[in-house]
Amino acid sequence: MSNIKIITDSCADIPKDLRDKYKIDYLKMKTVRDGMETPADLDWAYFTPEKFYDSLRGGARITTSPVSQSEMIMRFRSFLEQGFEIIYVACSGKMSASVFTAQHVAERLAPEFPDGKIFCIDSLNASMGEGLLAIRAAELRDMGKTAEEINDEVCAVRNNVNQFVTVHSLSTLRQAGRVTGSSAFFGDLLDVKPVIISDISGNNLPIKKVKGRSNSISELVKLTAESIEEPQTQTIFVMHSDCLGEAEMTAQLLRESIDCREVRICTIGAVSGATIGADALAVFSFGKSVKRFAV
């Protein structure tokens, strides 16, 4: 049995069956509304996705907070005491402080566990982009790779995660400070829908503007088809924030355009959802290295 524990956080949006299959643990961030914190549970233990996204549509202001240092110390110490080495795949450091907290915690626990190993990986991604890297880490663990090898290989493919997202407006991302300001106007033109990627540094970067929702969905499929590599070995993930019908349409177009192993539809979790807003669509896969960066 492997002594390597793969951990991620609430931003990763990995569904329970895959967390169980790959033995991935996660640390809970929090959502904050009207001063009240709620653990960001990936299985929606505290409210339904419909209720959460309806509140955003109604104008609710929901923010997020990273994994607390005390929670991280407790969880990391527990795994180290059990003899595990730790690989923590964190949300992009451009969007959350969790990876920096983890690095501090690793330094703090080092004297207590001189033979322990904690690798803190900035995924440079969010939602299922981060999730894909956590799954890759688990696959490498199950292949018998060492913690050092897993860290090196996951870091080497961070920019091979291709994220293509469309939203009705960039207003929620702008409000959360999670999109580069130079392209913020994309979401404010009548019926123009932005297409967003995760850039080489882990920023959300709008790269295109497309007229109409239907055309923006087609653009996600086109960009994925152009970027994906070895699709027959991959599951492409279509993520949505409470717009299942459009997610199903996107998934069908992907199946018709790309000879992949599987297309899977999942719901964007509360942490990513609070940042991107309701009715977002995103497609994630591995492919060509991302070269763009915000200026």
Same fold across 4-29+66-156 and 159-286: no
- SS3 percent helix, strand, coil of the chain, rounded to 5, is 40, 25, 35
Kindly indicate whether the domain formed by 159-286 is annotated with CATH number 3.30.1180.10.
yes
Average pLDDT, the chain: 92
Phi-psi region of 23 (alpha: psi -120 to 50; beta: other; left: phi over 0): left
Residue 177 has pLDDT above 70, yes or no: no
Segment 256-279 mean pLDDT: 96
Q: What is the pLDDT of residues 135-172, one digit of tens each?
A: 999 999 999 999 999 999 999 999 999 999 999 766 65
Are 11 and 95 a contacting pair, CB within 8 Å?
yes
Q: What is the b/e burial string over 98-120, where b = at least 16 CB atoms within 10 angstroms of the residue's CB? A: bbebbbebbeebeeebeebbbbb
pLDDT over 70 percentage in the chain: 92
Structure tokens at 250: 């996107």
- Cα–Cα distances in angstroms (integers) from residue 174 to residues 9, 55, 236, in the given order: 23, 18, 27
| Three-state DSSP state, 291 | coil
Backbone CA torsion sign across 8, 12, 13, 14: negative
Q: What is the mean pLDDT of residues 191-201?
A: 89
Quick one: pLDDT band at residue 74, thresholds 50, 70, 90? very high
Pick the CATH number of 4-29+66-156 from 3.30.1950.10, 3.40.50.10440, 3.30.70.270, 3.20.20.70: 3.40.50.10440
How high is the pLDDT of residue 89? 98
Domain ranges of the chain: 4-29+66-156, 159-286
Nearest CA to 87 among 195, 187, 28, 6?
6
Q: What is the pLDDT of residues 33-53, one digit of tens each?
A: 999 999 999 999 999 999 999
pTM: 0.93
Angle at 276 between CA 194 and CA 289, to 5 degrees: 65
Can you name the residues that pair with 163 across neighbouring β-strands? 284
Say which residue the tokens 């027959």 belong to. Answer: 232
